[in-house]
Amino acid sequence: MDKLKSGISYRDSGVDIAAGEQTVKAIKNKVRSTYNSNVLSELGSFGGLYRIEKDKWNAPIMVSSTDGVGTKLRIAIMAEKYNTIGQDLVNHCVNDILVQGAVPQFFLDYIGVGKLNPVMVEQVIDGLITACCENSCALIGGEMAEMPGIYLGNDFDLAGTIVGMVEEKELLPRKSMASGDVLVSLASSGLHTNGFSLVRKIIFEHLKLDLDAYITECSAVLGDLLLSVHKSYLNVLRPHLGNPALQGLAHITGGGIGGNLSRILPDGMGARISLETDSIPSLYHWLQNAGGISDEEMRRTFNMGIGMICIVHKGFATEFIAQTGGKHIGELGEITSIQQKVVFG
């Protein structure tokens, strides 16, 4: 009882409030670099304030999404490289609302740790800031939670919420999507943020490799391959969002090409895709051979080198491909209820 009277602090239980406050001070000016004239609050407020520019929109629709980066976090922790994982998170969220035609307005993050590591947190925030600036998106707030007993050792969690805007008449996918529309793929920058549980099983359990291993088939170091930043497609697609010839977008994440493209196709409409072996990046061939993975499992788990699929009118396809650097990979056609929505071949 005397020991209790002498005072056990919150810090003794594993939570350092002062360190948290110092970390916020250290990143405050950096975060401010993402602000625009619509941000009305400062980092550390109870809530982030963002003004809607009424004269900029006619019939605005707000689009929001929340996501994480999955077990790619484990790779970042193993590599002790934290400045790219924040970029992954923002870009993933940007792409998720982009498929509905929305452009990002602001972003909020969550970082949960067992013990606060100011250097790690600052590197993660640097990544968030980099991507927010590249996507013209304000980082207006978030939560940094120190929870010993929930997160162990160097483990941490990272999640984010994005809010964007789109004119109602420009919402995607469009109802005018029709048979004969062309599928155009935009290349991924690697695995992006999906399939890492299977990747880790192949690399660390089966092959027993380290992140500094050089993969001859890919002409790259393994850690660099795995931590390649999830690509944002906002800047390349933004000029086309108001074009009625752009019918729909599918962000290729968990579930692969078939699972994500099916989400935007209307009833009675299917897609036939030609996924040529030579067009698939070497990383996917290496993983498939190393793990003995079937073609079907590969397509269901990974993006296979395609980060976004765009559906465009046939008459616009050539121009669209020239402007985006995309590739013609298939067409839409009518199907019956018993046929698969997405067929490869």
Tens digits of residue pLDDT in 123-165: 999 999 999 999 999 999 999 999 999 999 889 999 999 999 9
Q: How does residue 27 score in pLDDT terms, banded at 50, 70 and 90?
A: confident
When pLDDT is averaged across residues 308-314 and rounded to a whole number, the result is: 98
Q: How does residue 43 score in pLDDT terms, banded at 50, 70 and 90?
A: confident
**Domain coordinates in residue numbering, the chain:** 2-170, 182-344
What value, to the nearest 5°, has the Cα angle with vertex 273 and ends 272 and 275? 155
The dotted CATH code for 182-344 is 3.90.650.10
Q: Which tens digit of pLDDT belongs to each residue from 65-108?
A: 999 999 999 999 999 999 999 999 999 999 999 999 999 999 99
Task: Give the pLDDT score at 22.
Answer: 73
Tell if the pTM clears 0.75, that is, is over it: yes
Which CATH entry fits the domain spanning 2-170: 3.30.1330.10, 1.20.1260.10, 2.60.40.730, 3.40.1350.10?
3.30.1330.10
DSSP tally for the chain: helices H, then strands E: 12, 12
